[in-house]
Structures are given as C-alpha cells and as structure tokens.
C-alpha cells in the first residue's frame, strides 16, 4: 500500500498506550509519508491497575501521570492528540449515539480519509469494544460518497478463526525503534510488561524480544453497511 494515498488518519481508542501498542508503527509510516495523524483518546486510563514496576504511581496521581505519558508518546510519534474526557471503564454506559456524533464531528472537521479503531466485540476490554462500536457508528453516519476508509483492530485469541486473516498487515521493523520508544513512554503500563519479558526463558534482549512480539500491526477493513457490531 502507498501511505501517501491518505490525507488525514484518525485513530480512535479508549486508553493511553492503546495507540502505542496497537498502531504506533503504522502511525510512524503515515507520518514519514507526510500524512497527519490525530489520536482521539477516550479516557486517561485512570482506573488501570498498573502503577509502575516498581510502583511510582498512586490511584490519585495516576490520571496526571498517564496524561503526561500519552503526551510524551504522541510527541515521539509526531501525532496530534485530543483527549475526549470519558471516564475509564465506563464507556459502555455512555450513549453510543452521542459518542458517535461527537466522533463524527472530529472525523469530518479533520477531513479524515482513514479511521483506525477497535473491532467490537473482538477487542477484549469493554472500553475497547464500546469505543470501537461508537467509531463504527460515527463512520456509518457519514455520507457514503465522502465516508473514510475504516480499519479495525481485533485482539481476541480466536480472531483469525472467526474473522479470517487480517486485510492489512503493517511490518513495523523499519520503524520499530520509534515504536518501542513510544511504548516505553507509557512507563506506568510498560515497565511491568518489559520486566516479564526480561524474565522469560526466550529473552534475547529488550529490542529483539519486543520485536518478536510486536513487529506486525494488523487490521480488518470494515464495511459499516454490512458488519454487525
């Protein structure tokens, strides 16, 4: 694919670090092609259980810590970010219609030609699925002649058995140093993962072990007039 084919990419996920684990390599590839990328981040992940390893955050300090981590990661990725201000672990209880209308306004105002989000119900976390469903609805609300392309991230273990092979697979090896830097910017969330990786019997160094696990970013192309969500 030619990354220059798009005019503006909008990524819609619910938490700080979703963008770095799920689409940071893809983001870098678009930015290298001169395409603007905007992240619409649903929450600050303030109810997350990870407080660093060893702990350096508290329940009270975590929201501001995660906010700064998000800003730092987006700076690494040269990506714009808008924080939507929803409460962590409650997006499923928001009005999907109202969330979708708000996302639609962002998508249209930014002139997005591609939207990337989670694939409900194949995204494990209730916030992932709820944010993805609202993003699907937002794209569906847009007139079909100007509707952006929609890619969705599925992360359930049975995704390929249920959905088949992904339609888009991005190899991030050429930009993986920057992807890993963005992940590590989310220190409160990433340190535990990296610590477990170092303790693994197949550990071959931080960069190489992370590359083995996170090299490819895969997406399904979605037709919102046909998909159920």
- pLDDT, one tens digit per residue, over 108-159 is 999 999 999 999 999 999 999 999 999 999 999 999 999 999 999 999 999 9
In a domain, 178, yes or no: yes
Instruction: Describe the strand order of the beta sheet including 168-171 as a list of residue ranges.
Output: 80-83, 37-41, 9-13, 114-118, 149-153, 216-221, 168-171
In a domain, 140, yes or no: yes
Task: Give the total number of structural domains in the chain.
Answer: 1
In a domain, 198, yes or no: yes
Residue 196 pLDDT:
83
Can you give the pTM of this predicted structure? 0.96
In a domain, 227, yes or no: no
Pick left, alpha or beta for residue 118 (phi over 0 → left; psi -120 to 50 → alpha; otherwise beta).
beta
Asked if the model's pLDDT at residue 201 lies above 90, the reply is no
In a domain, 226, yes or no: no
- Which CATH number is 144's domain given? 3.40.50.10320
83 CB-near residues (< 8 Å, 6+ apart): 41, 44, 67, 70
Structural domain including 77 reads 7-221
In a domain, 1, yes or no: no
In a domain, 42, yes or no: yes
8 Å CB contact between 103 and 134: yes
In a domain, 2, yes or no: no
In order of 26, 71, 99, 111, the CA distances from 83 in angstroms are 20, 10, 13, 18
Per-residue confidence at 71, pLDDT binned at 50, 70, 90? very high
């Amino acid at each position: 694919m030619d990354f220059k084919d798009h005019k503006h990419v909008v990524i819609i996920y619910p938490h700080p670090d979703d963008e770095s684990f799920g689409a940071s390599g893809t983001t870098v590839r678009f930015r290298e092609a001169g395409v603007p990328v905007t992240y619409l981040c649903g929450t600050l992940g303030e109810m997350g259980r990870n407080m660093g390893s060893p702990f350096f955050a508290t329940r009270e300090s975590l929201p501001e810590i995660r906010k700064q981590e998000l800003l730092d990661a987006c700076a690494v990725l040269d990506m714009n970010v808008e924080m939507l201000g929803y409460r962590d672990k409650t997006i499923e209880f928001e009005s999907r219609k109202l969330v979708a209308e708000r996302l639609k306004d962002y998508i249209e105002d930014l002139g997005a030609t591609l939207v990337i989000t989670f694939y409900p119900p194949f995204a494990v976390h209730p916030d992932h699925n709820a944010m993805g469903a609202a993003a699907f609805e937002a794209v569906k609300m847009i007139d079909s002649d100007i509707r952006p392309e929609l890619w969705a991230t599925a992360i359930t273990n049975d995704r390929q058995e249920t959905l088949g092979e992904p339609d888009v697979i991005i190899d991030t090896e050429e930009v993986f140093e920057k992807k890993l830097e963005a992940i590590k910017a989310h220190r409160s969330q990433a340190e535990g993962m990296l610590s477990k990786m170092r303790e693994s019997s197949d550990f071959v160094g931080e960069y190489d072990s992370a590359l083995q696990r996170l090299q490819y970013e895969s997406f399904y192309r979605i037709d919102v007039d046909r998909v159920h969500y």
